[in-house]
Structure 1
Amino acid sequence: MAPVARALALVTALLAAACPAAAKVFTDAAGRRVEIPDAPKRVLPAGPPAAVLVYVVAPDLLAGWTRAPSADEKPFLRPEVRDLPAYGRLAGRGGTANLEAVLAAKPDLIVDVGSVDKTYAALADRVQAQTGVPYILIDGALAKSPETLRRLGLALNRETRAGELATYADDALTSVAAGVARIPTEARPRVYYARGPDGLETAPKGSITVESLDAVGAVNVAEGGTGLARVSPEQILGWNPDAVVTIDQRFATRAKSDPVWSGIKAVREGRVYAAPAAPFGWLDAPPAVNRLIGLRWLARALYGGAFPGDLRAETKRFYALFYGVALDDARLDDLLPAAGPPR
């Protein structure tokens, strides 16, 4: 290299080292204008929905998990992220992360995805002020999944990848909505959504937890309130739902022989449906884009032949596209035996 060229290269390198990374202003779902890196290198999710979103859009940028994946979940994740550290959660129910954990992760961006209100905006402002790390909020509503993916793609400088996922999301939402529109109102089942090993935790209509029920036209028997709540067996018996849907296989197995549940029509008639839950719940846990494949499953569970299609093939497609994992038949069998609806 000629002396002049070497000198120019040295000057360029020194300037790059001395200047901060390029930044852009991002307006988040709470209307906050946040200066973020133009191309983030390490992204810390504030809660489980954000962990899923960052993983599917940019797995190489994921700084860590809010909860370490279990041994059963790891085979359904890319090998390079399975053993990332768990830092706990900053936002949402049962926050466990502290500022020391945030700083230890050395992120250049914090992302939260889910419900957006003044409480979450205030938390974002506080953490950003205390750590100096930009913190953005993105709306995680199921119906807004295509927009959610595109917004995160913009923030992470991954517009092409996010656009591909958003196209799938739009097709999934549109096709399920079209199928539901063909179901007469009187044929739409009354459903109880059971959470936890005893099935006595649920959420009312309008909660982000049960958006999947709303999307498939099911009538949620739980009314009132805004978030997760404990209910009694007597309440459920009074509701007497047509179907019970859960993401907890332990509960689904127990309910079939539990005298507490035997008086409920859905249990007596064998309409207790347990959704797959690896690496993330298909209906919830967390409420993120993992629910897109769950919509197809839930529609099949509740309406049967009114939603034809090859669920196994669609599951393989979704896992390859979103999770970067090729499912063989044995792994697919691990997911679907508990799925309730016919394959």
Structure 2
Amino acid sequence: MPRPDRRLVLAGLGATILAPPIARAATVRDGAGREIAIPAKVERIFPAGPPAAIQLYTLAPDLLLGWPRPNRAEEREFLLPGIGDRPELGRITGRGNSANLEAVLQWKPDLIVDAGSTGRTYVELAERVQGQTGIPYALLDGRFSAIPESYRILGRLTGRVERAEALAGWCETAMATIRGRIAAIPPEKRPSVYYARGPRGLETGLGGSINVETLSFLGARNVADQPGSGLAQVSLEQVLAWNPEVIVTIDLAFAETVRSDPGWAGVRAVQAGRVHLSPKLPFGWVDFPPSVNRMIGLWWLAKLLYPAAFPEDIRALAREFHTLFYQVTPSEEQLDRILAGRN
């Protein structure tokens, strides 16, 4: 997992900040088991990183102050007008973190929310930021399996309990349905999969990586399932030795060239035409970032890996997901673009 920005902590230690008192109307236990005081008024929420921003948008878009990075035009097309184009805030955690405490305070948030690791490093960061700013800082468990409970926690924090339950219920139903069908598939019938990132396809997620959680959920055999976590660079020779049956990629350049690249010609997935480009509008279906956007990707992957067990219409599922979670119903032409994996 990416490390929190030490500059944020150091800036906070060196700054003289008059921290407003936290309202003590009620408390909620967050994903790390911390008791978080709910402010009497929650109207402005600062997302610490992209996963939190996406989950908050799907639940309570009006409360979202902005985005860790500006959304591109092709992404904003699938988001609510006036919300998808809200300003860039920077980020507190993760790669490219840029928001120090002074920057956070300038936005006057009532609440800070992060979604991801709930390990000690992130708990300590949350405690420091909360102590130095007086703004409640909630950590949501970013693991795929924890998405429903994270919605319920966020619903209690924001007063959007009913909608949080609807979103959590959709996720739980999808996971239970898919898990039940996967259980009936013998292990030897589950394909080996390589997750390819980057224009050369040589970055992948190791066994413990959050980036490949949905593949693990589906019982696929990740060929890079080896000790470690996170993303790793591998060689083409290693991929040839693994010889996966299926390749899933998020990179358009790789997807367009791998079939004609002689170096990849010996890989079973290439020979069988089983190289699949993941949809990514407005957010990636496998990861990038690893948030609730992976829920529709779970159905997509299930149909790719086990077509006989999943006869559902992915277009209908995508339309339903977009309408419920992103609150914008895509047209047929937009669905074509989404499912093609292009911008």
TM-score (norm 2): 0.89
Which stretch has the larger CA shift, 95-104 or 19-28? 19-28
Residue number in structure 2 paired with 1:3: none
Measured in 1, the distance between the counterparts of 2:131 and 2:71 equals 30
Query: Residue by residue, what CA displacement relative to the aligned partner does 1:136-180 show, whole Å, maximum 9, x if unpaired?
Result: 101121112211111111111110010011110011101111121
Shift of 1:85: 0.7
Measured in 2, the distance between the counterparts of 1:338 and 1:140 equals 24
Shift of 1:21: 5.9
Measured in 2, the distance between the counterparts of 1:20 and 1:50 equals 21
Residue number in structure 2 paired with 1:250: 253
Shift of 1:20: 8.3
Measured in 2, the distance between the counterparts of 1:218 and 1:248 equals 20
Residue number in structure 2 paired with 1:240: 243
**Counterpart residue type for residue 59 of structure 1:** P
Residue number in structure 1 paired with 2:311: 308
Match of 1:117 among 86, 96, 119: 119
Residue number in structure 1 paired with 2:333: 330
Measured in 1, the distance between the counterparts of 2:43 and 2:26 equals 14
Matched, 1:203 2:205: yes
Cα distance change on mapping 1:198 and 1:38 into 2, 3 Å: farther
Preserved CA contact (<8 Å) 1:300 1:308: yes
Query: Residue by residue, what CA displacement relative to the aligned partner does 1:225-259 show, whole Å, maximum 9, x if unpaired?
Result: 11111111111111111111122222211212223
Query: Residue by residue, what CA displacement relative to the aligned partner does 1:89-117 show, whole Å, maximum 9, x if unpaired?
Result: 21123322222321222211000112210
Measured in 2, the distance between the counterparts of 1:38 and 1:292 equals 32
Query: Residue by residue, what CA displacement relative to the aligned partner does 1:278-304 show, whole Å, maximum 9, x if unpaired?
Result: 111111011111111101100111111
Match of 2:157 among 155, 158, 162: 155
Matched, 1:219 2:221: yes
- Which residues of structure 1 form unaligned runs of 5+? 1-18
Measured in 2, the distance between the counterparts of 1:171 and 1:199 equals 33
Q: Describe how 1:130-169 pairs up with structure 2 within 5 A.
A: 130-169=132-171
- Which residues of structure 2 form unaligned runs of 5+? 1-20
Preserved CA contact (<8 Å) 1:150 1:166: yes
**Counterpart residue type for residue 286 of structure 2:** L
Residue number in structure 1 paired with 2:7: none
Measured in 1, the distance between the counterparts of 2:309 and 2:58 equals 30
Preserved CA contact (<8 Å) 1:67 1:88: yes
Which stretch has the larger CA shift, 198-207 or 306-315? 198-207
RMSD (CA atoms):
1.7
Matched, 1:171 2:173: yes
Shift of 1:338: 3.9
User: Which has the greater radius of gyration?
Assistant: 1
Residue number in structure 2 paired with 1:275: 278
Q: Percent identity?
A: 52
TM-score (norm 1): 0.89
Preserved CA contact (<8 Å) 1:38 1:156: no
Q: Describe how 1:36-185 pairs up with structure 2 within 5 A.
A: 36-185=38-187
Q: Tell me the secondary structure at the aligned position of residue 77 of structure 2.
A: helix
Measured in 2, the distance between the counterparts of 1:38 and 1:166 equals 24
Measured in 1, the distance between the counterparts of 2:199 and 2:22 equals 50
Preserved CA contact (<8 Å) 1:39 1:157: no
**Counterpart residue type for residue 209 of structure 2:** S
Q: Tell me the secondary structure at the aligned position of residue 74 of structure 2.
A: coil
Measured in 1, the distance between the counterparts of 2:66 and 2:76 equals 14
Query: Residue by residue, what CA displacement relative to the aligned partner does 1:73-98 show, whole Å, maximum 9, x if unpaired?
Result: 11111112121111122112332222
